[in-house]
Structure 1
Amino acid sequence: MNIEESIAQGVQLPVMEAFYTIQGEGRFSGYPAYFIRLGGCDVGCVWCDVKESWDSGKWPIFSIETIVEEAMAYPGRLVVVTGGEPLMYDLGPLTALLKEKGFTTNIETSGAYPFSGDFDWVCFSPKKFKKPHPSIYAEADELKVVVFHQSDFSFAEEHALLVKTTCELRLQPEWSRAVKFTPAIVDFAKKYPKWKVSLQTHKFMDIP
């Protein structure tokens, strides 16, 4: 099996970085977590803070055994698979091995590709730049919409109609526009209490 085939089958994956830290946003904010950031993304968010992740060809390819072995070196057993856009890859083999080794599996995704993998928590953050794949709506446990423009409030409501009723709804100010939009997000959540406010607490605390 060549590298292209092994990536297609999800047994090897391009990894931009992997690190043990504190989850800074969303439902698991404050939890120690091991992040696996996969390389590759074609969503093209203008405000993306990891644009270097977009080109998958820049990053080394690792077997899922190596990826999981490195995660096991740390005491925490919460893993967050992120990117880039992680659903560009078949995440079934990776999550199966993580589960076998006792990890809780979370994903952060734009939902732009068909859903794959066995995840305990799915954070779905849709983007206007690439339409989500329909498979994400039944899987999402958390809908997190980044507010960069005033129109993102209506964008959030549109997606809230499509996720399951148990899905948690969060609005998060884009970091560079937090001063402008945080008051509006607070007012929106107070008016529509099904929504919660999410902040990038790791940036306030300067946690990588």
Structure 2
Amino acid sequence: MLPVHEQFYSFQGEGTHAGRAAYFIRTFGCPVHCPWCDSAGTWHPDYIPDRINRIAEEELAAAAAASKAEFVIVTGGEPSIHNLQPLVAALHQAGLKAHLETSGAFPIQGEFDWVTLSPKRWKLPLSENLSKADEFKIIVDSPGVIEEYTQPLNAKERPVWLHPEWSQRENGEVLNAITDWVKAHGAPYRAGWQMHKPYKADFLDPNSAQVAPLGGDPNKGY
């Protein structure tokens, strides 16, 4: 059984599979604690609910299959602090592809069909996970982090998405840094955006959890 913060049907708003119908399973727990985390309800003590649901993997797979989603995204928090092998096996048994969104800082358990790795400076990815990634997502909260994060990736032909950190989405310095980097380097770098947020797509599903402020800090917004 897995501790689950929320499960809901929406579309993938980021990366290579953006715009595709997806079922999300968001687990509880994360030791990384990014100060701008947009899922702080999975770990921040002020926003974790009093009751945490633990749900059997087969039940999660059945709910995902019933949605008719194109694939399932396992995210967090940091999902890889849990053993995800039983969940992936249940999803595959139900005929669903399993995608993972992870910082890469913990061993990945489970044969995922797609891995999005988003490195964080507070706990860097394991070298073994860099080779497992199908795409990378860098959260740009200041211009200097692009070079900091891209140097060790050895991305080659795999996409490297540069996303403005959500509280900085109107910061011209951050946006210009992404634009300049993509223009100067070309592939595999791509400018990214969290497309589901202006749509507010996730909240159309009543099973989506109440949103917490970025990093658990109301001053940063939502």
- Scaled by the length of structure 2, the TM-score of the pair is 0.83
Among candidates 57, 62, 69, match of residue 64 of structure 1:
57
Instruction: Note the alpha carbon deviations across 1:95-119, whole angstroms, 9 max, x for none.
Output: 0110111101111100110121111
C-alpha deviation, 1:167, in angstroms: 2.0
Quick check: 1:52 aligned with 2:41?
yes
1:61-87, CA deviations, whole angstroms, 9 ceiling, x for partnerless residues?
Answer: 111111111112211131000000000
Moved more, 173-182 or 25-34: 173-182
Aligned residue number for residue 168 of structure 2 = 177
The partner residue of 2:131 within 138, 158, 181 is: 138
C-alpha contact 2:78 2:103 (8 A) present in aligned 1: yes
**Number of aligned residue pairs:** 195
Q: Deviations over 1:132-170 (max 9, x none)?
A: 222211100101100001221112222323x4x332111
| Aligned-residue offset at 1:58 | 4.7
Partner of 1:168: 159
Task: Provide structure 2 residue ranges, at least 5 long, that are not aligned to the other structure.
Answer: 203-222
Whose RCO is larger (CA < 8 A, sep 6+)?
2
Alignment of 1:83-162 (within 5 A): 83-161=76-154
- What corresponds to 1:82 in structure 2? 75
- Structure 2 counterpart SS, 1:145: strand
Q: Distance in 1 between matches of 2:110 and 2:175?
A: 34
Distance 1:140 1:58 in 2: 33
Q: Equivalent residue of 1:72, what SS?
A: helix
Q: Report the equivalent of 2:201.
A: 207
Cα distance in structure 2, aligned partners of 1:166 and 1:18: 32
Moved over 6 A (4+): none
Q: In structure 2, the residue corresponding to 1:34 is in which secondary structure? A: strand
Per-residue deviation, 1:35 = 0.2
Matched residues, percent identical? 37
After superposition, the CA RMSD in angstroms is 1.5
Mapped to 2, the partners of 1:54 and 1:160 lie a distance apart of 27
Gaps of 5+ in 1: 1-11
CA contact (8 A) 2:11 2:18 kept: yes
